[in-house]
Amino acid sequence: MHLLLTIFVFIAILSILVLAHEFGHYYFARRAGVRVDEFGFGLPPRLWSKKIGETLYSLNLFPVGGFVRLFGESASEPGALKNPRSYASKTLRERFFIVSAGVCINIFLAVFLLFSGFLIGIKPLLIDQQDILTAIENGQLQIKTGYMIKEVQPDSLAEKVGIEKNDVLVEVNSRGVITQNLLTQSVLHGKDIGLSLKLRRGDSLIQLNIPKQKFDDSGLGIGLYESFMVPRILVQSVDPQSEVAKAGIKAGDMLLSINHVPVYSSDDYQSLLTRKTVTIQYERQYKVYETTVTFPQRRSVVVGDVVFGSGADKAELKKGDVILQVQRQDIVSPEQAIDLLNTSKTSGQPAQLLVERAGKTLTLFLSLGSDGTFGVRLTPIINQNLGMVLEETTLPTTMVELKPVRYGFFKSLEKSITETYRLGRSTLGMFGSLITDLFSTFSVPEGVSGPVGIAQMTGVFVSEGLMSLLRFMALLSLSLGILNLLPFPGLDGGRLLFIIIEGVIGRPVNQKFEQIVHAIGGLCLIVIIFAVTYKDIARLF
């Protein structure tokens, strides 16, 4: 039943999007006075047709897409150039709008669908790692470290050996699960070598050893939540005498946040240590802990340069001086020191500085120079030892729940336009990667799907509900519009390119040459679609 519904929805969505595209050509052709000979639903052979006025409306055998046939699309048609109702007789501007109308309709449809989704409530679109991190920080995305099992098929091997829904895969064959591909390959090879799994269930770790004799062609029989790789900071070692050790942090812990701001890199870690006392949230053995660390006086800011004759020069600040305090407050960042110095301007009194120079501490008083500045450049001291050695890595992370977002009318309109622009850029980049990889390595990059892959994704979004399907349809509409806009022979963009060339050189391009170019482009498109479809089918098995 689900398969039939998926097929129906897939055909319906693709037909709506292509018909909307073709309706753009139809409408602007009629506006320009071009005779539309046929508007067809589906692809030939023709099953049924009815002529209304001068246009034949047809229903065709393959219910995917549609087409518009205009009188005089080729200037070589008899009387095409002289007949005012023909496409070939129209001005460059009119032909440009007719050809580009389909793309415009698809893009406007994407904006409208996203706008409707944001008004009603729709899950945010995550297209890159930064989107994922932002959703985590905003509390929209609930995650779990590792690969979480979404379903266990009845009477499967997984059910027989005791695997349960919401178990989290921690290790496969004594190795940390690094990628989805590694996990898949390990499970596939289980029937030849057996399988060793370590699972986390609640607060417990469970070890399962499955001998190869238990495997059959049906595999393990589990389904996983959607997952991705997230950058993380691991504590490699801890100085036993340090403040972080006293606060309970140990080697192997994973840092989650500092001062309640998520950290994903050592740069994040350094930039967030802006106070002497900080709150650190970390994960150990998949449990989350929080602790407070009070650091001793840290040397975080150094004088990078002093302007001759400035207030800093008169205060006898020297390049290389370490700033310990400003206005009797401990300094942990250049930004904090600058804020305190700027605050002192309003008092009209010199700012009191405690600096370290050649192992000695000095108290200096800094006033503004005649130019209204202090005349000093402050820089951070990086890679300071705070009692921990950290390691940057990436870990598999499960998307447990993605909460929908909802906006008001004007915010939804703004968000739908910006998201359409962002997704359009991503689509262009993906198509560029596809062309580059096809002709350089004869491979299809990850993330690119053809009709089979789109049909498979349709099934996923059907099961998730109407709003997810709406978001998917918006993405497909935008992709269809953007790809058709590319200046590639056989696409609308290729035809627009010839119209632009005609406008530049002042005469039409040779019709036979243009037809040959479009024919070659169409052949290339068939090859690309075949390659992508082949990968989609291979991915299924």
Position 411 pLDDT exceeds 90: yes
Confidence tier at 376 by pLDDT (50, 70, 90): confident
Instruction: Tell me: do 111 and 241 sit in the same domain.
Output: no
By percentage, how much of the chain surpasses pLDDT 90?
16
Per the structure, the complete domain to which residue 211 belongs is given by: 126-294+386-403
Nearest to 377 by CA among 320, 271, 306: 306
Instruction: Tell me: do 354 and 468 sit in the same domain.
Output: no
Nearest to 470 by CA among 93, 34, 122: 122
Q: State the pLDDT at residue 114.
A: 92
Instruction: Tell me: do 76 and 19 sit in the same domain.
Output: yes
Instruction: Tell me: do 270 and 225 sit in the same domain.
Output: yes
Q: State the pLDDT at residue 447.
A: 55
Q: State the pLDDT at residue 452.
A: 52
Q: How far apart are CA 430 and CA 187, in angstroms?
A: 30
Position 514 pLDDT exceeds 60: yes
Residue range 348-369: average pLDDT? 87
- Tell me the per-residue pLDDT of 19-59, one tens digit each, with 9 for 90 and over: 899 899 999 999 999 999 999 888 788 889 999 989 999 98
8 Å CB contact between 161 and 190: no
Residue range 61-76: average pLDDT? 78
Position 449 pLDDT exceeds 80: no
Residue range 484-513: average pLDDT? 85
301 residue type, one letter: V
CA angle 108, 111, 116 (to 5 degrees): 125
Instruction: Tell me: do 339 and 368 sit in the same domain.
Output: yes
Q: State the pLDDT at residue 115.
A: 94
CB atoms inside a 10 Å sphere around CB 261 = 12
Residue range 248-266: average pLDDT? 88
DSSP labels for 417-449?
Answer: HHHHHHHHHHHHHHHHHHHHHHHHTS-PPTT--
Q: Please identify, among 350, 371, 403, the residue that sits at the C-terminal boundary of a domain.
A: 403
Higher-confidence position of 79 and 225: 225
Question: CATH code at 366?
Answer: 2.30.42.10
In the chain, the number of structural domains is 3
Q: Please identify, among 344, 372, 403, the residue that sits at the C-terminal boundary of a domain.
A: 403
Instruction: Tell me: do 74 and 141 sit in the same domain.
Output: no
- DSSP letter at 483? H
Residue range 520-534: average pLDDT? 70
Position 178 pLDDT exceeds 60: no
Q: State the pLDDT at residue 413.
A: 94
Residue range 493-520: average pLDDT? 84
Instruction: Tell me: do 252 and 345 sit in the same domain.
Output: no
Instruction: Tell me: do 437 and 497 sit in the same domain.
Output: yes
How buried is residue 294: exposed, middle or buried, by Cβ count under 10 Å (0-12/13-18/19+)?
A: exposed
Instruction: Tell me: do 25 and 75 sit in the same domain.
Output: yes
Q: Enumerate residues 6+ apart whose C-beta is below 8 A from 39.
A: 22, 26, 55, 56, 57, 58, 66, 67, 68, 69
Instruction: Tell me: do 160 and 171 sit in the same domain.
Output: yes
8 Å CB contact between 449 and 532: yes
Instruction: Tell me: do 132 and 259 sit in the same domain.
Output: yes
Instruction: Tell me: do 198 and 288 sit in the same domain.
Output: yes
Residue range 201-228: average pLDDT? 79
- Tell me the per-residue pLDDT of 308-333, one tens digit each, with 9 for 90 and over: 888 888 889 888 888 888 888 888 77
Residue range 424-434: average pLDDT? 77
Confidence tier at 208 by pLDDT (50, 70, 90): confident
Mean pLDDT, the chain, whole residue set:
81
Q: Please identify, among 372, 403, 434, the residue that sits at the C-terminal boundary of a domain.
A: 403
